[in-house]
Structure 1
Amino acid sequence: MEYRRMGRSGLKVSEICLGTMTFGHGTDEAEAKRIVDLAFDAGINFFDTANSYGNGQSEILLGKALKGRRREAIVATKFFNPMGPGPNDSGMSRVHIMQAIEDSLRRLQMDYVDLYYIHHVDTQTPLEEMLRALDDLVHQGKVRYIACSNYEAWRLMEALWISEFKNLARFECYQPQYSLVVRDIEQELIPVCQLKGLGVVVWSPLAGGFLTGKYKPGQRRVPGTRSEEGWAYPERYFAPNADETLGVLLDVAQELGRTPAQVAIRWVLEQPAITSAIVGARTAEQLRDNIGATGWRLEGDPLLHLNSVSYLPERYPQSMEKHMEERRNSAVKMPSLTG
């Protein structure tokens, strides 16, 4: 297992992060414990949950599974989604943040979480209010690092500017959707994270199961999968040529003697700025297959083929500006280089 620094921080996490959204939703307590034990055995030290997963059950089962091994684990959880019927039971207000962290710590049976994400965008609360509340949690020792998920590039930059200007704890990690069939973050968000030194921990590297090998090009529903159940399946975000990309993935996996899931996860981990990929599993067997994405490199023609088929179409202003460096260089007259 490879361990990578979380952006500019000193925190090191495994390149595979165990996602626990299925805990309490298809995965019972006994299987959750088997999955967590297998993760530790494989060298995974990074675990991701959220207060809203399974209406709190994911945090409860993860806390039980980590009992006695807390110091071995880097635990991330999230807040934003409604956790009650009241007007202050969601969002990123100071009131909700202070309630949410206490509830999450109680469910997890922990004194602190290592990484605390704002799960979604709240347009009704000033960013400074959220950041000051999170800064308080860091100083109280209830949160080690703060982070965000699903933010636009401009909003992420604004939050980082506020933290710097006001001397508040700043986001050290960004969690976006990213896979062979959803590469949108490469155009704006990845450059921001590289510029500002944020870790990037991606969700849905298997596109909700679409890239696991269960599907064939043209299929969108498979019995016994999340697509049939209609939850957490991100089909609406897929690139228009998703089926072509899936076909190439299946061919590359066969060529390499790997499963499609292993190749798809490995592709994500080979991309610039990626810290870790969140991999969920309903069973220990599913996790065992996904762990096979570690310990090898995806390179050469197979990597180039996957990069090429899934490459994002150019858009303005990148499409207009991509040759401007050459234009600038060609305008420099240097006699020492011309004769």
Structure 2
Amino acid sequence: MEYRYIGKSGLRVTPICLGTMTFGSSTGKKEAFEILDIAYDRGINFYDTAELYPVPPEAKTAGVTETIVGEWLKTKPRDSIILATKVAGAASGWFVPPIRHGLTAMDRFHIEKAVEGSLKRLQTDYIDLYQMHWPDTVVPIEETMEAFDRLVRRGLVRYIGTSNDTAYGLTKANEIARFKGFARFESIQNNFSVLNPRFFDELATVCKREQVSLLPYSPIAGGVLSGKYNNKFIPEDARFSVYLKHGNKRVRTHATKFYNEKTLKATELFLDVAKKYDIHPVTLAVAYSKSFDFIASTIIGARKKEQLDASLDALELKLDKVVLEEIKKIQAEILYPMG
């Protein structure tokens, strides 16, 4: 098994991380345990969750995923697991997305309350990687970094990271950490895939120069790159089939970012590449997302255990330059299909 370090930290992780955001909604507890066990048996040591999960986020289910992961965690040696979770910023463990215009609250009080809740639900006394789920646009980043640093000094958190952040946000936070002597962000968890290569624009340079690792999520673009949305008959229980019928307008809008005319066209070309090289499209998409030197571990997910093997098969697949160039041509032909 190949291992990679996250940033400058001592976290040595597998190049694939198991995400858990469907556990407690579209994935029941029994199947979630089976998925976790399959990943563990395949050698995966890195698992990612969040206080607001499962998705789509709702007040009545927030925290359920951490509870499921915590129960499973008790069945394994704790030191065999690198555990990551994320703080959304509400002391109650709940907020109303999207996190914009100061609706998140990354202040001392909310961060300390959030970590207490996560530790309790996860049934552990420490978190290996604690991540800011979204940047705060109101609370000064100095206060946020000081609060995270306090958690590290108390031994509740080993390392910290950010998520859904910008080149400016990551750089600003880590420069403040350097100046103040605080723990810095060792990772950034952003959307990155064949259909969404925007990370190359600025953030990839920051990560390489500053030795911060990307932990890409949605490597198969929420299932779009599997090709199931390009079929004549789309599965009714598919993620975006459900989201497009959701009562929440924000959830429906989120679905159209992944599922639109441009993403389907780009996926069609991507499927041709997969067929040409006789690689399962999911395996190819995950292998692509772990192909770059600024990436530590790619976050995969599965609603059903049957979906897991194709993603995990990417552990043994290293794409050559010819395949990567063909994918690059698709990205040049259809620029930023996810907007």
* TM-score, normalising length: structure 2: 0.86
Query: SS of the counterpart of 1:294?
Result: helix
**How many angstroms apart in 1 are the aligned matches of 2:302 and 2:175?**
37
| Alignment-derived partner of residue 203 in structure 2 | 189
The structure having more radius of gyration, on CA atoms, is: 1
Look up the match of 1:258. Answer: 279
* Distance in structure 1 (CA, Å) of the matches to 2:152 and 2:75: 24
Q: Does 1:43 align with 2:43?
A: yes
Q: Give yes or no for contact 1:177–1:204 (8 Å, CA) kept in 2.
A: yes
Q: Counterparts of 1:223 and 1:157 in 2: how far apart (Å)? A: 42
CA distance in 2, matches of 1:170, 1:281: 31
2:239 is matched with which residue? 226
Task: Check conservation: 2:89, 2:114, Cα contact below 8 A.
Answer: no
Higher mean C-alpha displacement, 138-147 vs 293-302: 293-302
Distance 1:22 1:2 in 2: 27
CA contact (8 A) 1:208 1:234 kept: no
Shift of 1:43: 0.9
Give 1:258 deviation, angstroms. Answer: 2.1
Counterpart AA for 1:103: G
Alignment of 1:121 with 2:121, yes or no, is no
Q: Corresponding residue for 1:20?
A: 20
Is 2:84 the counterpart of 1:76?
yes
Provide the residue aligned with 1:139 in structure 2. Answer: 153
CA displacement, residues 65-96 of structure 1 (integer Å, 9 cap, x when unaligned): 11142211101000125445799995211000
Distance 2:277 2:95 in 1: 53
The answer for the alignment partner of 2:192 in structure 1 is 178
> What is the TM-score when the length of structure 1 is the normalising length?
0.86
Instruction: Assess if the C-alpha contact under 8 Å between 2:52 and 2:93 holds in 1.
Output: no
1:283 counterpart (304, 316, 320): 304
Q: Secondary structure at the match of 1:53?
A: coil
**Secondary structure in 1 matching 2:315:** coil
Letter in 1 for 2:70: G
Deviation for aligned residue 1:239: 9.4
**Residue in 2 aligned with 1:273?**
294
Pick the aligned partner of 2:166 from 152, 169, 173.
152
Match of 2:30 in 1: 30
1:96 aligned to 2:110? yes
Q: 1:6 corresponds to which residue? A: 6
Q: Residue 214 of structure 1 aligns to which amino acid in structure 2?
A: K
C-alpha distance in 1 between matches for 2:153 and 2:255: 37
Report the CA distance between 1:241 and its aligned residue.
4.3
1:221 and 1:227 in contact (8 A); partners too? no
CA contact (8 A) 1:52 1:81 kept: no
Post-superposition CA distance 1:32-67 (Å, at most 9, x none): 111111111111100000000031011000111111
Q: Which runs of 5+ in 2 are unaligned?
A: 55-61, 97-101, 244-250
Match of 1:333 in 2: none
Paired residues of 2:4 and 2:296 also in contact (CA < 8 A): yes
- Partners of 2:89 and 2:110 within 8 A in 1: no
Residue range with higher mean Cα deviation, 303-312 or 170-179: 303-312
Identify the match of residue 56 of structure 1 among 49, 58, 63. Answer: 63
Q: Distance in 1 between matches of 2:281 and 2:189?
A: 23
Identical counterparts, % of pairs = 39
Shift of 1:314: 9.2
**Structure 1 stretch displaced more, 17-26 or 272-281:** 272-281
What SS class does the counterpart of residue 314 from structure 2 fall into? coil
**Aligned-partner Cα distance in 2 for 1:67–1:9:** 25
* Superposition misfits of 4+ residues, deviation over 4 angstroms: 84-90, 219-222, 231-234, 237-241, 312-315
C-alpha distance in structure 2 between counterparts of 1:86 and 1:204, whole Å: 22
1:222 shift after superposition: 4.5
Partner of 1:168 in structure 2? 182
CA RMSD of aligned residues (A): 2.6
Distance in 2, matches of 1:132 and 1:59, equals 25
Query: More deviation in 46-55 or 85-94?
Result: 85-94
Q: Which residue of 1 aligns with 2:124?
A: 110
Name the SS for the 1:78 alignment partner.
strand
Change (3 A) 1:59 1:277: same
Residues 213 and 259 in structure 1, CA contact (< 8 A), matched pair in contact too: no
